[in-house]
Amino acid sequence: MASSASRTENTRPRRVSRFLTRARGVEAVAHGVAFLAASTIVAITALLVFELWINSALSRHKFGWDFLFTSTWDPISGQFGALPFIFGTVVTSALALLISVPLGVGAAIFLAELAPPKISDALTFCIELLAAVPSVIYGLIGIFVLIPALQTIVPPLKSVFGFLPIFSGPFYGVSIFSAGIVLAVMVVPFIISVSREILLAVPRDLREAALALGATRWESTWDVVVPFAKTGIVGSIFLSLARALGETMAVTMVIGNTPRIQASLLAPGYSIAAVIANEFREAAGDLYTSSLIELGLVLFALTIVINGAARLLILATTGKAAS
């Protein structure tokens, strides 16, 4: 590249040629540095997958695809199936989103559109503080505050909705339900602060165009501003989903750490991240370790699949709006 550049420059006056060569030199260096930085990210991801893949070979060869679809997790007899953990991870994350999305998006709309700016700024500061609280603290609050509270709330709830399978069975406190609520509280600050920024970035004249047609403030917010910000809001939700799927500490403190699939949300469960954190150090035998590593691979794949599906969903819905 450099040689071809200097060859074409030979016909031009020397000073110009020198300047151009130098400029191209800087260009090449900047290009190289940026390329290196970008490829490092790709390399780290590839290395991660590669390591997980290699180190889970034992478990992959022994169980094959059955690893994903069996629910026995028995280190003593050497039987490992990932299904209860996949179930626990997906259900707690789904529950978290079910609670946090209406709450978070609603709060963001309030802060961006309705609240006076001073109140909005003060509340946003508090919300951003919440996002910085370490997850172990959320776990402790789950154990000492949430679970005792749930123990008084759940029995009346059961007496009304007890006929539903999801509210059947005894409630001991630690459960999928508790984990879902803790996760919801953890991710709601992300949804609020990102969605608020996106709503505030909607062009003012778009809002005014609706007002100029005689729309009320709420109509202009709901019909025009929120649809305009939709893609960004959905993005904030997936960011939260990624956090919920991978959250380890707070979940393991309240989920009950029981590798079983039960219809009731009130029953204890287990998540992928929690079982890896709890059992990796004590894993005796290569197969056990290898199975835990394969769980890591599964979590990685799950995150990619869910994020990919989410992106397709965004494309499909924005594509529909555009046609």
Partner 1 sequence: MNLPSVNKGAASGEVGQRPPESAPKLKSTNLDFYYGTYKALQGISLSIHPNRVTAFIGPSGCGKSTFLRTLNRMYETVRHTRAEGEILLDGEDIFALEVSQLRRRVGMVFQRSNPFPKSIFENVAYGPRVNGTTRKADLQERVERSLRRSALWEEVKDKLHKSAYDLSGGQQQRLCIARALAVDPEVLLLDEPCSALDPIATAKIEDLLFQIKDSCTVVIVTHNMQQAARVADYTGFFLLGKMIEFDSTKVIFKTPSRKETEDYITGRFG
The binding site for partner 1 (CB under 8 A) comprises 117, 203-216, 219, 223-224, 227-228, 230, 321-323
Beta-carbon count within 10 A of 156 CB: 9
- Rounded to whole angstroms, the Cα distance separating 183 from 79 reads 30
Task: Quote the least distance from Cβ 321 to partner 1, whole Å.
Answer: 6
- Rounded to whole angstroms, the Cα distance separating 164 from 266 reads 11
The residue (of 156 and 214) whose beta carbon lies closer to partner 1 is 214
The residue (of 70 and 120) whose beta carbon lies closer to partner 1 is 120
- Rounded to whole angstroms, the Cα distance separating 177 from 184 reads 11
Task: Quote the least distance from Cβ 126 to partner 1, whole Å.
Answer: 22
- Rounded to whole angstroms, the Cα distance separating 231 from 120 reads 23
The residue (of 169 and 232) whose beta carbon lies closer to partner 1 is 232
The residue (of 18 and 217) whose beta carbon lies closer to partner 1 is 217
Task: Quote the least distance from Cβ 248 to partner 1, whole Å.
Answer: 39
Task: Quote the least distance from Cβ 320 to partner 1, whole Å.
Answer: 10
Question: Do you know the residue count of the chain?
Answer: 323
Task: Quote the least distance from Cβ 50 to partner 1, whole Å.
Answer: 42
Task: Quote the least distance from Cβ 225 to partner 1, whole Å.
Answer: 10
The first and second tokens of residue 312, run together, are 């397709």
Tell me the CA distances in angstroms from 112 to 100, 103, 225, 249, one per residue in order.
Answer: 18, 14, 10, 32
* Residue 194 CB contacts under 8 Å (≥ 6 apart), including other chains: 232, 233, 235, 236, 239
The residue (of 66 and 219) whose beta carbon lies closer to partner 1 is 219
The first and second tokens of residue 152, run together, are 């008084």
Please state the φ and ψ torsions of residue 80, each to the nearest 5 degrees.
-130, 125
Q: Which amino acid, 152?
A: T
The residue (of 136 and 211) whose beta carbon lies closer to partner 1 is 211
